[in-house]
Chain A
Amino acid sequence: MTDGRTRRVFVEMLREEWRMHSHLFRGGHFALFPVLIAALTAGAAWLLVTTGTGPGTVFAGLHALAFVFGLHTGSIGFVGRDALRNLLGDLTLLVFTARTLPLSQDRLLGIFVVKDLVYYAILFLLPMALGTGAAVAVASGGGGVAGGQGVAEGLPAAGTALGLWATLTLTFVLGMGATIAALGITRRGVPGWTLLAALGAAVGVAVAGNLDVAAYTPYGVFLDATLPRVGASLALVAAVFVVGALTFDASARPAARTVAPAFRRWRDRVGDPVATKTLLDVHRSSGGFGKVLFSAAVLLGVTASLIDLAGQITGVSPSVGVSFGAILGLSGFTTYNWLTQSDDVDSYLVHPLSVEDVFAAKFRAFLLLGPLVGLAFYAVALAWRGGPILEALVGAVLLVGVACYIFGTTVYLTGLSPNEFLFDTGLFAVFGLAMVLPLVPILVVGFALAPVSTGLLAALGAGGLVLALAGVGLYRRSLAKWPARYRER
C-alpha cells in the first residue's frame, strides 16, 4: 500500500494516542509527562553519580532500561491476538475500526509498532536522555555526557544528548524487535524453551570466547561511534525486524480453543474464586505464565549485566543478594499488569461480590504469583553468582518487600486499572517518587558499598520489612479509597 493510506493511518493513530492519554489524564497534565520523566531521570542520575556510581554505569543502566522498555513494548505481541481483539479494540477506536478497512492485520500491527516507537522515543526516551545527560554532566563536574567516553567526547551538550537519545532509541527498537522476532519464531512451532536455550548457549559462547557482544549493539555505538560499530548495530536491529516480519503473523486466527476443566481443581488450591479466575486468565491468555517468567528473566539478565559492568568500571563487585533482590522485586510491576489486564472490577459487580472482595482476590493472586516467581529467579541468581548467606537472606526480604510495596502503591494509586493509567503525570510523579525514595538508597548500597557491612545489611533487612508492611498498608488503604470511587463513577 503506497497510496498514502499507511501514512494517514499512522498519523491518525498518533493523534488518537495523544487524545486518548490527554483525555484520560486531564489534558495539560499529560503534556507535562516528558518534563516529569526528565526530572525523575535527572534526579536519579545525579543521586547515583554523587554517591559514587560511575557515569558509565549510569549510562549502561539507562540503555538497559531502554532495552527492557523495548522488550515490554514489543510484548504487545505476547497478547497479540488477544490485544487486537480485546484490548486494542476497546482502547483504540482507530485500530478497532481499521479492522473493517482494506488493511491487513500485519500492516496494522506494523503501523501500530512504528507509532509506539515514535511516541515513546519522543515522550520517554528524549527526556530520559536530556535529564540523564544534564545531571551526569553536572554531577561529574562537566565531564560530558559520558564522562569523556565515546560518542559524547568533544561534542557540545546538545549534541551529546542527541547522540544518547539516538542510541537509546536504537536500543529500544532492538528490544521491541527482539520480542516480536521471538514471538514469531515460537509461533512457527519452535518451542520457547529451545529459543531460550539457544540464547543462553550464545551468551555462554560469547562469555567463554571473551567476545564483547555489547560492542555491536547500539550501546556499543554510544561507547565508541566507529563506522563498524554503527554498521553492526544497525544490521543487528534490521536482522531482528526481518526475522520478526518473516515469522510473526498478526492475523493468524487459530481454531477455537478447547480445554479440560481446571477451575475447580485450581479453586480448591487457591481458595478464592476470583483469584482462581485471575490466575486462569493469566495462564490461558497469550504467553501464559511464560510472560511472567519472561519479565523476571529479563530483570535477571539486566541485573547480571549491570553487576558485571559496575564491577568492571569500579573494580568493586556489587552485592549479589542486595542487587538481585531489589531489582527482581520490580517484577511486581509487570505481575500486577498481567493480573489486571483481562478483566475490570465492574464485571464482578453483577455477582454478590464487593469491590473489597475483588481487591482481596487480586492481592492473593499477586502473592501466589509475583513474589514466588521473583524468589525462584532469585534462587537461580544466587546459584549462578553465589554470595554470603546473610546477604542472600536480606536480598530475599528486599525482593518480597519491594514486590509488595509496588503492588500496594500501584493499587492505591490506580485501583485495578492497568498500568497505562499511571500515565497521568500527577499520578506518575507520585508513583515515581514513591519508587525512587526507597529504591535508590538500596541500589546505591548494593552497587557502590559492597561488601555490605553487617550493620547496613541489618538496616536493609529492616527496610525490606518496612516496605512490605508499607505495601500491605497501602493495599488496605486502597480498600477504603476505591469502592466509593467505583460506585460514584
Chain B
Amino acid sequence: MAKKTGGSFLKEAGRGPALDAKSPFAVSGLTVAYDRKPVLWNAGFAAPEGELTAIVGPNGAGKSTFLKASLGLIPKLSGEVAVFGRPIDEARGDIAYVPQRSSVDWDFPATALDVVTMGLYRRIGWLRWPGRRDKERAREMLALVGMEAFADRQIGQLSGGQQQRVFLARALAQDAKVYLMDEPFAGVDAATERAIVDVLKKLLAEGKTVLVVHHDLETVPVYFSHVLFLNGGTVASGPVTETFTAENLQKTYGGRLAATQLAALHEAAGMKT
C-alpha cells in the first residue's frame, strides 16, 4: 500500500485506472470505512478484458467489501468505478454479481427456477411478468450448471453446493460482460467445484471478464490467469505468471502464511520468486 500524503495524492493515484476506458471494470481510489474503522484504503484495479482474475487476501482484507463498494451496495468514502469507461450506474446491464451464499435466507418461498428467473428481471423491465420464454431461458441456465432436475425444488431443500449453482445460473441468465463472484468456491462439494470451473471456462471462451474472490491459494494458478492481492488496499496485481510470487504472498499475508505453505505453493505453481 502506497503512503498517503493527502487528498491530492488520493486523487492522483485514483486517476490512472479510471481513465482506462478499455478495462471492463476499473476501480480507483476506493476507500471504505465501517463506522470509522477503515477496511479499504485507496484500492485500485483495472480488470483485464476477457481474463479470469482471482481476488485473494487474508480474512478481513476487504475482498467482499471491494466488490460490494464497487457495486455501490455499501457506501464508500471515495473512489471511482468505470465499466468500459462509463460510470457504473450507466452500465448495470453489463454486470452480473454473485453474492456470498450466506447473504440470503434460503427459506424464502421460491424454487430454483424462480431464483434463476430473477437474473432476467432487469431485462424484463418494470410492470411486466416473466413469460414462457424467460422461464425456458432460466431452465437452460440451470442445465448449464447441471441443475435442470431441481428446477422446481424449493431452494431451502437444496444442498449448499446446489444453492451455489443456482446463484451461478442466475448470473449466467443475466448475460453480462463482467462477472463478479464472491467466494463461489466456499464450502462446496467436489462436483459443484467442477461445475463452477466449467462455467468459468465457458465464460472465458465467450470473452467475458471475470473477477472471483477466492480463498484457496493452491488453485489460483490452476484456475486463474490474473490475480489481485488485497489487504486493506491493493498490494499487487497482474498476470499470475508474474505476480503470484512468494514476495507478494508474503506482503499480503505477512506472517500468516507459514514457510511450509509457501513451499507447497511453489511446487504447485512452479512459482517465480
Task: Answer whether A and B are interacting partners.
Answer: no
